[in-house]
Amino acid sequence: MKKSSLIILEIVLIILAAIMLIPIYYLLVTTFKTPAEAALSPMGLPKVFMLDNYIKAFTAMNYPRALLNNLIVNVCSVSLLVAFSSMAAYVIARRPEKIYKRIYGIFMIGLMVPFQISLIPLYKVVSGLGVMNSLTGVILVSVFCINMSFSIFLFKGFINTIPFELEEAAAIDGCRKLRIYWVIVFPLLKPIIATVCILNALAVWNDFMTPLLFLQSPSKAVILLEVYKNVGPFSTDWTAFFPMMVLGVIPMVIFYLFMQRFIINGVVAGSVKG
């Protein structure tokens, strides 16, 4: 009975996996078709696999420039998130005063309340700071308004597992708080740093609303904005649109394939120790 139930379960899982792969198959196959082929046979294979659609998409998106803008936003946002959220989480985790617990509670409100409800005042703040229509503005919003709370939540749970005796020993040897953090504590945060970097890199890369609101210049556009520009008001050429989507996803797929080991290790570490 156990063997037969396992066989049935495997068959069901295979069917579910095949269903989940249908949209991906449709996306990839359509990128190699002409508009006529895509209309006549949406799920069929193309007669000839052509790369013309990818070449046109690469040119229409100005892909190198958009990719560079994405990388700048991602690298700067993730770096600032790791630095500031880890330090904030360290202070919250190590200080016994109630005020720090209340500060932590304020940060956790950011996990429950979506930042979209404060878009109008946020727009005014960004405009007042003079960082409108700049990558700096997008980076600041991504770091301090969207992803900071979640990063502090992850770091605090992991810091609580680090023995406080290590810091006491360093303090006895004459280390100050800042040096204790960077020399003793920060190197021990590698598993959770990897997790925070990966999750935030995916979140910032896939963020569409922030660049849409705060970037107006075509030279500052990121990949998702370039893809969005090719959505027609009445109709869309899917054979031209889908290659752009694939080009936008490829960097994150490569990033995930290289970092999946760290994702698993970081999640497991957080679930056991956090």
Average pLDDT, whole number, for the chain?
87
Are 69 and 222 a contacting pair, CB within 8 Å? yes
pLDDT tens per residue, range 169-228: 888 888 888 889 998 899 999 888 988 998 899 899 999 989 998 998 888 999 999 888
**Alpha-carbon gap, residue 45 to 32, rounded angstroms:** 9
Name residue, tokens 């020993």.
169
pTM, full prediction:
0.84
Q: What gap in Å lies between CA 109 and CA 116, rounded to an integer?
A: 14
CA dihedral 107, 136, 74, 251 (to 10 degrees): 140
Superfamily covering domain 52-273: MetI-like (1.10.3720.10)
Q: What percent of the chain has pLDDT over 70?
A: 93
Joined tokens for residue 221: 């556009």
Please tell me the predicted confidence (pLDDT) of residue 140. 93
Cα distances (angstroms) measured from residue 135 to each of 83, 142, 199:
19, 10, 20
251, 64 Cβ separation under 8 angstroms = no
User: Can you give the residue ranges of every domain in the chain?
Assistant: 52-273
Helix then strand then coil, % of the chain, to nearest 5: 80, 0, 20
pLDDT of residue 142: 93
Q: Are 142 and 204 in contact (CB under 8 A)?
A: yes
